[in-house]
Structures are given as structure tokens and as C-alpha cells.
């Protein structure tokens, strides 16, 4: 049903994107660069050819999952910044559990299953911890999840440089490489790995979970009014922890694919910032699991075009970060316009006596 | 009274002033909140402004105070037409207001609150001089508040007194009071109103009081004006008009729904078991202070037990315990003799329902739709949940539409967000959700707060109906009349403790009023044959 709220949730983020584009154009003009060139390069690098589309989709896959990792807790009222940590620690766990299995020559499908499960479980526990601290100890979940991210990165880098370091990795400390037999290839002869499929399936599954199941309904109640949810006898603490755990599992899968499809071993490259870009994706998608997909693809395309822009326009690689930052700030400001647009003010009904 | 401290800044005479409005009109969008309202308050009079919720009383005084700019009309102060552009201007002209919500700073002392309220408060405050002046000021005042105590430590009644003292300290000569006695015990209210009335009579101040309580209006006010739907429906002398006349002006021709008849309980042989038992329950607030202290209470099927008390004496905390919003620090809850915890399985198993206070805060999710809000009890059960475990939005909407029709909830559609509904309709939607099935235990807290007369009568009738059908009802209310009207037995909560619960017929308004103020109950009041009454 198309009501004013749906219209708002589409037009406001789109308007925010447009405004961000204008602000970024001003930024480019100040630098003496042409915004038109920038736009055409984004098109060339992100969408114009099969090659660039593959490139964009490949980068979109982790963003879908980290976007979900922010969007699901957001529905229950939590602002979690812990996805990055779960990506790193989940990916590391996947790489580590694979070592004995690979050494024993287990079949690849089985190894992937174990690796993915390990990544999800560890990610879920890691982020679930933030939810547990929130409910039982009243610790602010935004702070705790952000700090947990740094702890995760530190633990992982300690372990990679210490006990789990592959002696062969001289320049860049890494775990033992998986070997080509255990690498996940592209889908259907493309360079896009199966993480995209996982992201799409999870986006649909989590949309169904949040919109069509009692669990999702209870989570939305809790997010909308904690006291009312308590008054209805809902297990608020368990719901909070469950939503955090789902988020951690989503982020953990990103780590798994980074290991099994991209790097083949765990190293510092795991902390690539997908967890943080996912926050931006989720905000732009207004925490709707289905809307996360197109937004993630857009950001994947921007990311894919980044290298091209760097070369052709002679701009530093931080340029794309500036654009992301501008989008985020404009988006946060645009959030305050919900319910205040002239066409969005629904008439109050009933007798105002 | 000779105000010396502030005479330098005030632009008004040192005596009571008259206040009137002429043809005040104010609209909010399509809603006409004030429709050519003319109000006349003579100098030195104690004037009551009566009306139902939403009649326009608050809008009128906010226009006088300069919070709102009126669309049309004039304010006449002491015979002169004045413009009020801001509350600060009203203050300079000598009009002060006590709001329903406190405007004191809790972490400061009473003296500090008074001094910082002054518009000419110096950048550097010489406290010794100020305190000496404040002491002198307090000596001239008819009632006192300890100057050195922190506002957070004052009772609600004392805070309200301090609010009024603040206006007098600022040398305001027209006092506008918005339901000033709602947080006071009856004796505190009588004291403050008597003293203000005396000051008005001596020509020192003029008082305009918004009130709901006819008793106070009859006892203390000289004259009154009644508003209904933004229009003046009557004015006159509070001494000669009868309560019937005033209430007729307030509600107009609306026929109030007859009170649900109280069916007498069949004398059960043997005596029934208590349905809901609170066994020595305790709870603490965030700071570890005990807010519910060893409360023991039995509620039997087919009765309403009313808990009265001044707000902030542990009633809200008690309801929060029963609603799962506050952990139990000690004691047990039993239903039908079996342990009960306010989780979903127990709520369903024992058919426990509730009408919590402040529905927008405790009972609904404002941004979810009316249909979703009405499904809070049933979203995880058939028919809304299918056998495969999925929620069917169409069935949810169909059920909501039936309830909307049955309970006469006025909403644009079942899909509209519940925050777009008026207070009465939100409460009706909650009634539909909570009372449409079989109810064994009902927990009700301030169900009629802020609602108009018609809704109040309807909601009280529904509660009585549940009692007559055999539910055990706990009614917590700050409205003493509501408690006395509905309850079979009453108890008073004071400082977290529950005094003896006694049959309503064996007590009186005055008796309960005394207990609300913390007085001990005389032992001989307890009904000898009443086995239900227990002293905590």
C-alpha cells in the first residue's frame, strides 16, 4: 500500500543523495575538477560495461551483508557499529578452522561449510556480546560495539603475527593460505563470487523475518517502545541479543567470503572498512533489508569507479571517502525531515475533545 | 506586602490587577481552539477557569502568557490593552504562571531556584545578602518552603508551593495556576488555596486557576468561566452557582452514559481463593531507594481494589512490577495460588490484561499502525499467525477493523499510525485490545487521565463490566473520586507502603485524604468482619 510514509521513505533518501551530489560538486569545483567528468567516470567505472558491473557487484556483496548487520539491530532500536569487528574476527576464525581440515585433505564443500559456520558463530557471539552488555549491564551499545571492533582487530592482528603466522608470509603477516582447491570461484563464470548470492538470499530472508514473523513483530515493538513491549511480556533481553547475534552472523559471513573467495588467508586486509560503509548503506536504505541491496550496489559501483577516478582525475583515493562522508552527514540531516514534509502531514483523525 | 527587591524592574503597580480578554480567537490548522473568548477577571478576585480536556483552557492562558500569538482579540490588563509577544513580557507586566509540569531545577536548592528565576539576577551572586533577603521574603509569605533543601528532596506538594512562591517572589500580581492541586494532598491543597484566597481578598493578587475540581471551585473561588469546544458557555459567581449548573455548562447536552451498575457479589460458600496475590513485594529505583516497600495485597475474583495516593508514592512502581517494567526486589506474585511472573506465557495462561497509565509511553508503539497495535496480544497466535509461523497482515487488518467498529475507534484507517489518533481513541484502541476477550486479572492505572467526560464514563463502565464478569481488578489512580467511585475496597499508598485495605463503604474522602498525607490509620476503622484487609 502506497501511503505517505512509503513515499517519504523513498523521496527523502533520494533527495539526500541529490543534495550530497551537489555539495560534492562544489567540493570538486573548489579543487578545480569537473563534476561532469566525475559523474561520467562513475558511470564508466560502475555500470557501463559487463566488466565494470562485475566489479561493482563484487564490491557490493560484502556491503549488502554489512548493511544488513546494521539494519537488523536498528529495527530493535540499537545503533551497532560492531560489524567491522565481526568481519575481521569471523574471517580470522574461518581461516583458522580451515587449517587442520585443509591439511587433512577434507572435501572443499565440507570445509566451506565449517568455515562459514565458524565465521557466523564467532561473529554472532562477538556482536551478541554488545547486546548482552546493553540489556544486562546498561552499557551503551554504540560505544561497546565500536570498542569491541577495535578489540577484535587487535586480537586478530596479535594472533596473525604470533601463533598463527604462516612462516611463508614474510612481508605481510598472514595465516596459512588455503590453496587453490579450497578457493570459492566466481558465480556462473563471472568474477563475482558467491557472497553476492548469500547477500541476496539473506536480504530476502531477513526481510521476511522482520516483516512477517512474530519474532520480527516483537523486535519492531521493542524498537518502537521498549516499555510497551515489556508490558506485553515480551522477552526483551533475548530479542535484543538475538538481533545483535543476527547482525554478527551477517558480518561474519563477509569475513568468510573475504577469506575463501578473495584473500585465501587471513591478514590485515580483512579490516577493509566494509563494516563502516555498511552503516551508510543501511541508513540510506532506511533499515529495510530489501532496500539494502540496491543501495549496496550503488556504493559498490562508486567504489569500483574509485580507482578510475584516482587515475584519470588525479585525485587522491580519499576522494571517495569524502563523498561517503558528505552523503552520511546529509543523510543524517535529512532524517529530521521525516513527517514534516508538506504532503506527509497526515490529518489527525478523531474528535480532538 | 512591600516588595522592595524587584521594584526596579517591574512595570506594574504594587497591587492586584484586573485581567480580561476580548474576543480571543486562535486556530491550529482546521481546529478552532478558541472562538471569540471573552474572559473577565476582576482585580483581587479568585477566578476559576473550568472546562473539559481540550476545551481550550490551556490555549487561552498560553495566549495570555504570550506563548501563542492569538489570531484575533485583545488582552486588557488593568484597563489597558497590552500586547503579549513572549512569556518574558508577561512576566515584566506582572503575570506569572504555574505550569502543570514543574519548571524548577531539581539539583539546586529552593533558594537557588528562586534567585535564578529573577530576570535581573546578577552575574555574580552574593549569596549571604540574597539569603538574608529571601528569609525576609519568606517571613512575609503565608506558607514556607525550606530554602536550603534541594528541590529533588521536596515532595510534589512542596514543589508546587515553591512554584507559587516563585511567582510571588518575582512580584507577579496576576497568578495563573494550571491545575495546581493535582499533585497535592487534599489538606495541602486546602491550605494553599485558602492562603491565596486571603491574599486576593486583601487586594494583593489576582488569581486565575484552571481546575477540574468543583469542590475547590465552590470552596475557594469567587467567580468562574466555563469553556467548551473553544467557546465560553457560562460565567458567574462561584458562590451562587450549583455544581450541577457548572457541570452542565462543561459538558453541554451530551448525555453521559449511565454508570455501569455494580452487581453485588454472590456470597460464595466457602470464601473464594484470592485471584491475584502480592506477597510482601518490594522494588527499588535506579538509585537503590526502596520505592515499593513490603506490599501485601489479595484481590478476589469480581472485585475492584483501588489504590489511592499522591503521585510518586510507589503506585507507578507497583504497576511497573506487575507489567514487567521493573524487577522485583523481594516478595512474590501469585495468581490463583501459583507463582506468576509478568512474561508472555504467564500473561496468556492466567489471562492477565492491563490498561497502563500514559498509553503513548506504556501501551502502544506510536509509529506502528492501529492494526498492529491492536494485535499486540495476538500476533503470535492463530488466527493472525498461520500454522507455518508467519504473520498474515490481511488477517491482522480484518480483526482490527472488527474491533475498530465494535469499540468505535475513530481513525482514518487500520493502517494509520496510532500516533495520529486523539487520546480518547488511543485509549479505546487499547481497551479493544485488552478487554475484547476473557479477562481474569486486570491491572489499571490512571485510565482516564487527560480524557474528556464521555470517554471517561465509557472507560469506567468497561472496567466495572469486567469486574461484574468476575475479573479481579487492581485500580491505581491519582483521582480519588475515581477510586471511591469504582472500588469495592480501597487502600492508600504512602512512601511505598500500603496501608490497610478496607471496604469503600467503611471509609470516607476525609479519612483517605488524611492517609494520603501519611497519617496512620486508626485501628478501629478496620472492618472486623473483613478478612481481606491486611496491614502491610
Tell me whether domains B19-251 and B263-351+438-536 share a fold: yes
Which of B391, B424, B445 should be substituted to probe chain A, the one whose Cβ sees the most A Cβ atoms within 10 Å? Answer: B391
> Could you tell me how many CB contacts below 8 A there are between chain A and chain B?
110
Whole-Å CA distances, B314 to A294, B308, B375, B477, B498: 52, 11, 30, 12, 9
Contact B379 A214 (CB under 8 A): yes
- Domains of chain B, by residue range, sit at 19-251, 263-351+438-536, 364-435
Averaged pLDDT, B370-399: 90
**3-state class (DSSP) for residue B375:** coil
**Burial class (CB within 10 angstroms; exposed 0-12, middle 13-18, buried 19+) of A106:** middle
- Quick check: helix, strand or coil at residue B40? strand
Question: Which residues in chain B have Cβ-Cβ distances shorter than 8 Å to A208?
Answer: 390
How does pLDDT run across A326-338, given as a tens digit for each residue?
988 998 888 888 7
DSSP state of B64: H
Question: Does the beta-carbon distance from B422 to A353 stay under 8 Å?
Answer: yes
Number of structural domains (chain A) is 1
Interface with chain A: mutation pick from B365, B370, B415, B448, highest number of A CBs within 10 Å:
B365
CATH for the stretch B263-351+438-536:
3.40.50.300
Whether residue B254 is predicted with pLDDT greater than 60 in this model: the reply is: no
Nearest residue in B to A346, CA atom = B420
Distance from C-alpha of A126 to C-alpha of A135, rounded to nearest angstrom:
15
- The pLDDT, as a whole number, for residue B270 is 54
Q: pLDDT above 70 covers what percent of chain B? A: 89
Among chain A residues, CA nearest to B228 = A353
pLDDT of residue A350: 36
**What distance in Å separates residue B406's CA from the closest CA in chain A?**
16
Q: What is the predicted pLDDT for the residue at B360?
A: 86
d(CA A317, CA A307): 7
Report the residue of chain B nearest A231, measured CA to CA. B323
Percentage of chain A exceeding pLDDT 90: 48
Nearest to B389 among A5, A213, A231 (CB): A213
Candidate from A1, A221, A230 with C-beta closest to B325: A230
Q: Cβ of B411 and A213 within 8 Å?
A: no
- Supply the mean pLDDT for chain B: 83
Range of the domain at A226: 75-272
Cα A56 to Cα A68, A284, A297, B14, distances in angstroms = 18, 18, 7, 78
B429-455 pLDDT tens trace: 999 999 888 899 999 998 887 676 677
More confident residue, B54 or A290: A290
Q: Are B383 and B373 in contact (CB under 8 A)?
A: no
Closest Cα in chain A to B345: A233
Average pLDDT, stretch A278-296? Answer: 91
Inter-chain CB proximity A224 and B365 less than 8 Å: yes
| Average pLDDT of the residues in B136-143 | 82
For chain A, the distance separating the N- and C-terminal CA atoms, rounded to the nearest angstrom, is 31
Residues with Cβ within 8 Å of residue B145, at least 6 apart in sequence: B110, B138, B154, B158, B161, B162, B165
Q: pLDDT: is B49 or A343 the higher one? A: B49
Helix/strand/coil (H/E/C) assignment for every residue in A61-118: HHHHHHHHHHHHHHHCCCCCCCHHHHHHHHHHHHHHHHHHHHHCCCCHHHHHHHHHHH
Average pLDDT, integer, range A262-275:
86
Q: Which residues of A touch B420 (CB under 8 A)?
A: 346-349
CB < 8 Å to A224, chain B: 365-368
Banded model confidence at residue A236, pLDDT cuts 50, 70, 90: very high
- Contact list in A for residue B342 (CB cut-off 8 A) is 233
Q: Give pLDDT tens digits for A109-165.
A: 899 999 999 999 999 999 999 999 998 888 999 999 999 999 999 999 999 988 888
Q: Residue B358's pLDDT band (boundaries 50, 70, 90)?
A: confident
Instruction: Assess whether pLDDT exceeds 70 at residue B193.
Output: yes
Mean pLDDT of A249-255: 95
**Tens digit of pLDDT for each residue in A68-121?**
999 999 999 999 998 999 999 999 999 999 989 988 888 888 999 999 999 999
Distance, CA of A234 to CA of B345 (rounded, Å): 9
Closest CA to B159 of B98, B102, B83, B77: B102
* Chain A hits for B372, Cβ within 8 Å: 217
What CATH fold (topology level) applies to the domain B19-251? Answer: Rossmann fold (3.40.50)
pLDDT tier at B5, thresholds 50, 70, 90: very low
Q: What is the pLDDT of residues B119-133, one digit of tens each?
A: 777 788 888 888 898
What is the model's pLDDT at position B209?
92
Q: Do A349 and B416 touch (CB under 8 A)?
A: yes
Chain B positions touching A227 (Cβ under 8 A) are: 325, 361-362
Q: Is the pLDDT of residue A347 over 50?
A: no
Measured CA to CA, the distance from residue B479 to residue B509 in angstroms comes to 11
A137 at B interface, C-beta within 8 A = no
Q: What's the CA gap between A224 and A218, in Å, rounded? A: 10
pLDDT over 60 (residue A190): yes
Contact (CB<8Å) B417/A5: yes
Q: Do B182 and B479 meet the contact criterion of CB atoms below 8 Å apart?
A: no
What mean pLDDT comes out for the span B19-33? 83
Q: Does residue B242 have a pLDDT over 90? A: no
Q: What is the pLDDT of residue B531?
A: 41
Contacts of A212 in chain B (CB under 8 A): 390-391, 393
What ipTM was predicted for this assembly?
Answer: 0.81
pLDDT, average across residues B69-97: 88
Tell me whether residues B362 and A220 touch, CB distance under 8 A.
Answer: no
DSSP-H helix ranges across A31-49? 35-46
Residue B292, φ and ψ in degrees, nearest 5? -120, 120
Name the CA dihedral angle for B403, A223, B282, B276, rounded to a multiple of 10 degrees: 20
Least confident of A105-114, B18-27, B302-311, B445-454: B445-454
- pLDDT mean over B244-268: 64
- CB-CB under 8 Å, A349 with B421: yes
Comparing CA positions, the residue from A275, A264, A240 lying closest to residue A123 is A275
Cis peptide before B270 (omega within 30 of 0): yes
Q: pLDDT category, B525, cuts 50, 70, 90?
A: very low
Neighbour-count burial of B389, counting CB atoms closer than 10 A to its CB (0-12 exposed, 13-18 middle, 19+ buried)? exposed
| HSE-CB for A173 with a 13 A CA cutoff | 12
Query: Which of A75, A216, A217, A218 to mutate against chain B (most B CBs within 10 Å)?
Result: A217
Give the three cell numbers for residue B141.
509569605
Q: Are B333 and B277 in contact (CB under 8 A)?
A: yes
Q: List the single best residue of B324, B348, B442 to mutate versus A (max A Cβ within 10 A).
A: B324
The reply to whether residue B361 touches residue A227, judged by beta carbons under 8 angstroms, is yes
Angle at A108 (CA atoms; ends A105, A110), nearest 5 degrees: 95
Does residue A210 lie within any of the structural domains? yes
* Chain B contact present for A307, CB below 8 A: no
Q: B257: pLDDT confidence band, cut at 50, 70 and 90?
A: very low
d(C-alpha A342, C-alpha A15), whole Å: 15
pLDDT at B146: 84
Give yes or no for residue B72 having a pLDDT over 80: yes
What is the average per-residue pLDDT within B211-226? 85
Q: Is A140 on the interface with B (CB under 8 A)?
A: no
The 3-class secondary structure across B450-492, one letter per residue, is CCCHHHHHHHHHHHHHHHHCCCEEEEECCCHHHHHHHCCEEEE
Task: Kindly determine whether residue A228 and residue B367, on different chains, have CB atoms separated by under 8 Å.
Answer: no
Four-point Cα dihedral B355, B363, B295, B531, nearest 10 = 20
What is the C-alpha separation between B453 and B50, in angstroms, rounded?
13
Q: Which among B345, B380, B452 has CB closest to A214? A: B380
- As a whole number, the mean pLDDT across chain A is 87
Collect all residues of chain B within an 8 Å Cβ-Cβ radius of residue A214.
Answer: 379-380, 385, 389, 391
Which is it for strands B352-355 and B441-445: parallel, antiparallel or unpaired? parallel
Residue-level pLDDT at B333: 93
Selected residue with higher pLDDT from A170 and A93: A93
Q: Which alpha helices (DSSP H) does B343-502 contain, by range?
A: 344-349, 359-362, 370-374, 393-406, 423-435, 453-468, 480-486
| Separation in Å, CA of A353 to nearest CA in chain B | 5
pLDDT at B272: 79
Examine the pLDDT at A193 and tell me if it is beyond 50: yes
B245 or A71, which is more confident:
A71
Is A66 a residue whose pLDDT tops 90?
A: yes
DSSP B102-116: --S-TTSBHHHHHHH
- For residue B9, pLDDT over 70 is answered with no
* Chain A stretch 68-127, residues whose beta carbon is closer than 8 A to a beta carbon of chain B: none
Residue among B324, B364, B420 minimizing CB distance to A225: B364
Handedness of CA A58, A64, A65, A66 (dihedral sign): positive
C-alpha cell at A152: 577484535
Instruction: Give the mean pLDDT of B469-475.
Output: 92
- Looking at residue A349, its pLDDT comes to 37
Question: Looking at the partner chain, which of B52, B323, B415 has a beta carbon nearest the beta carbon of A231?
Answer: B323
Closest alpha carbon within chain A to B54: A353
Q: Give the nearest partner residue to B416 out of A230, A232, A346, using CB atoms.
A: A346
Q: Using a CB-CB distance cutoff of 8 angstroms, which residues of chain A are in contact with residue B391?
A: 212-214, 217
Q: Report which listed range, A7-11, A76-80, B105-109, B420-424, is most confident.
A: A76-80
Three-class SS state of A282: helix
C-alpha span between B323 and A232 (Å, rounded):
8
Quote the pLDDT of residue B3.
Answer: 41
What span, in angstroms and rounded, lies between the C-alpha atoms of A329 and A225?
27
The mean pLDDT value for B206-226 works out to 87
Amino acid at each position: 500500500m502506497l501511503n505517505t510514509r512509503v513515499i517519504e521513505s523513498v523521496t527523502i533518501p533520494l533527495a539526500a543523495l541529490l543534495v550530497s551530489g551537489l555539495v560534492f560538486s562544489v567540493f570538486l569545483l573548489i579543487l578545480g575538477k569537473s563534476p561532469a567528468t566525475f559523474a561520467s567516470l562513475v558511470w564508466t567505472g560502475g555500470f557501463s560495461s559487463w566488466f565494470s558491473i562485475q566489479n561493482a557487484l563484487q564490491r557490493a556483496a560484502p556491503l549488502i551483508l554489512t548493511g544488513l548487520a546494521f539494519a537488523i539491530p536498528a529495527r530493535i532500536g540499537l545503533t551497532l557499529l560492531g560489524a567491522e569487528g565481526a568481519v575481521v574476527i569471523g574471517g580470522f576464525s574461518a581461516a583458522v578452522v580451515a587449517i587442520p581440515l585443509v591439511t587433512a585433505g577434507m572435501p572443499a564443500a565440507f570445509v566451506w561449510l565449517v568455515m562459514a559456520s565458524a565465521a557466523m558463530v564467532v561473529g554472532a557471539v562477538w556482536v551478541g556480546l554488545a547486546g548482552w552488555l546493553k540489556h544486562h549491564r546498561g552499557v551503551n551499545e554504540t560505544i561497546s560495539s565500536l570498542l569491541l571492533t577495535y578489540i577484535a582487530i587487535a586480537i586478530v592482528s596479535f594472533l596473525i603475527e604470533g601463533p598463527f603466522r604462516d612462516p611463508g608470509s614474510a612481508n605481510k603477516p598472514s595465516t596459512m593460505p588455503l590453496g587453490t582447491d579450497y578457493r570459492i570461484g566466481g558465480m556462473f563464470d563471472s568474477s563475482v563470487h558467491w557472497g553476492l548470492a548469500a547477500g541476496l538470499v539473506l536480504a530476502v530472508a531477513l526481510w521476511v523475518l522482520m516483516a512477517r514473523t512474530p519474532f520480527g513483530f516483537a523486535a519492531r515493538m521493542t524498537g518502537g517502545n521498549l516499555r510497551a513491549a515489556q508490558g506485553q511480556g515480551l522477552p526483551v533481553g533475548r530479542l535484543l541479543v538475538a538481533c545483535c547475534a543476527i547482525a554478527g552472523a551477517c558480518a561474519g559471513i563477509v569475513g568468510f567470503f573475504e577469506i575463501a573467495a578473495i584473500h585465501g588467508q587471513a591478514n590485515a586486509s580483512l579490516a577493509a572498512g566494509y563494516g563502516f560503509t555498511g552503516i551508510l548503506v543501511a541508513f540510506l536504505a532506511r533499515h529495510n533489508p530489501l532496500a539494502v541491496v540496491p543501495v549496496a550496489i550503488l556504493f559498490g559501483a562508486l567504489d569500483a569507479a574509485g580507482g578510475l577516478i584516482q587515475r584519470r582525475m588525479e585525485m587522491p583515493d580519499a576522494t571517495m571517502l569524502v563523498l561517503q562522508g558528505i552523503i552520511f552527514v546529509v543523510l543524517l540531516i535529512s532524517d529530521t525531515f521525516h513527517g514534516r514534509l508538506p504532503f506527509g502531514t497526515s490529518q489527525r483523525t478523531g474528535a480532538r475533545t | 506586602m512591600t516588595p522592595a527587591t524587584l521594584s526596579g524592574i517591574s512595570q506594574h503597580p504594587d497591587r492586584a490587577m484586573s485581567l480580561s480578554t476580548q474576543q480571543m480567537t486562535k486556530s491550529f490548522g482546521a481546529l478552532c481552539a478558541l472562538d471569540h473568548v471573552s474572559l473577565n477577571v476582576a482585580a483581587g478576585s479568585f477566578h476559576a477557569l473550568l472546562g473539559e480536556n481540550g476545551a481550550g483552557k490551556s490555549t487561552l492562558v498560553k495566549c495570555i502568557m504570550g506563548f501563542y500569538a492569538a489570531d484575533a482579540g485583545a488582552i486588557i490588563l488593568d484597563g489597558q490593552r497590552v500586547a503579549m509577544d513572549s512569556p518574558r513580557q508577561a512576566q515584566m507586566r506582572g503575570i506569572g504562571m504555574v505550569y502543570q509540569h514543574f519548571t524548577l531545577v531539581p539539583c539546586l536548592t529552593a533558594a537557588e531556584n528562586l534567585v535564578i528565576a529573577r530576570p535581573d539576577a546578577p552575574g555574580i551572586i552574593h549569596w549571604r545578602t540574597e539569603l538574608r533577603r529571601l528569609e525576609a521574603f519568606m517571613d512575609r509569605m503565608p506558607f514556607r518552603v525550606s530554602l536550603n533543601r534541594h528541590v529533588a528532596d521536596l515532595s510534589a506538594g512542596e514543589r508546587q508551593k515553591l512554584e507559587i512562591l516563585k511567582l510571588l517572589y518575582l512580584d507577579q500580581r496576576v497568578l495563573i495556576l494550571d491545575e495546581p492541586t493535582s499533585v497535592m494532598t487534599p489538606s495541602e491543597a486546602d491550605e494553599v488555596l485558602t492562603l491565596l484566597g486571603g491574599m486576593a481578598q486583601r487586594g494583593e493578587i489576582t488569581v486565575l486557576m484552571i481546575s477540574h475540581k468543583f469542590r475547590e471551585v465552590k470552596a475557594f473561588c469567587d467567580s468562574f468561566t466555563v469553556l467548551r469546544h473553544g467557546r465560553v458557555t457560562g460565567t458567574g459567581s462561584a458562590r451562587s452557582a450549583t455544581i450541577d449548573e457548572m457541570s452542565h455548562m462543561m459538558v453541554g447536552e451530551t448525555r453521559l452514559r449511565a454508570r455501569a451498575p455494580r452487581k453485588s457479589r454472590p456470597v460464595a460458600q466457602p470464601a473464594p481463593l484470592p485471584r491475584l496475590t502480592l506477597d510482601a513485594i518490594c522494588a527499588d529505583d535506579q538509585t537503590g531507594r526502596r520505592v515499593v516497600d513490603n506490599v501485601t495485597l489479595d484481590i478476589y475474583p469480581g472485585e475492584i481494589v483501588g489504590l489511592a495516593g499522591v503521585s510518586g508514592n510507589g503506585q507507578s512502581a507497583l504497576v511497573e512490577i506487575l507489567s514487567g517494567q521493573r524487577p522485583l526486589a523481594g516478595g512474590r506474585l501469585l495468581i490463583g495460588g501459583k507463582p506468576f511472573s509478568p512474561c508472555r506465557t504467564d500473561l496468556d495462561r492466567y489471562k492477565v490484561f492491563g490498561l497502563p497509565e500514559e498509553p503513548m509511553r506504556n501501551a502502544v508503539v506510536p509509529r506502528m499502525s492501529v492494526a498492529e497495535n491492536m494485535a499486540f496480544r495476538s500476533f503470535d497466535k492463530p488466527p493472525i499467525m498461520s500454522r507455518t509461523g508467519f504473520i498474515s497482515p490481511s488477517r491482522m487488518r480484518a480483526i482490527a477493523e472488527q474491533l475498530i467498529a465494535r469499540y468505535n475507534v475513530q481513525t482514518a484507517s487500520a493502517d494509520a499510525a496510532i500516533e495520529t489518533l486523539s487520546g480518547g481513541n488511543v485509549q479505546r484502541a487499547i481497551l479493544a485490545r485488552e478487554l475484547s476477550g476473557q479477562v481474569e486479572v486486570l491491572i489499571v492505572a490512571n485510565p482516564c487521565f487527560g480524557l474528556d467526560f464521555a470517554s471517561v464514563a465509557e472507560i469506567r463502565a468497561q472496567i466495572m463490566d469486567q469486574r461484574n464478569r468476575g475479573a479481579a481488578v487492581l485500580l491505581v489512580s491519582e483521582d480519588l473520586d475515581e477510586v471511591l467511585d469504582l472500588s469495592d475496597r480501597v487502600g492508600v499508598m504512602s512512601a511505598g507502603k500500603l496501608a490497610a485495605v478496607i471496604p469503600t463503604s467503611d471509609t470516607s474522602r476525609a479519612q483517605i485524604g488524611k492517609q494520603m498525607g501519611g497519617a496512620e490509620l486508626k485501628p478501629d476503622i478496620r472492618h472486623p468482619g473483613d478478612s481481606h484487609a491486611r496491614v502491610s
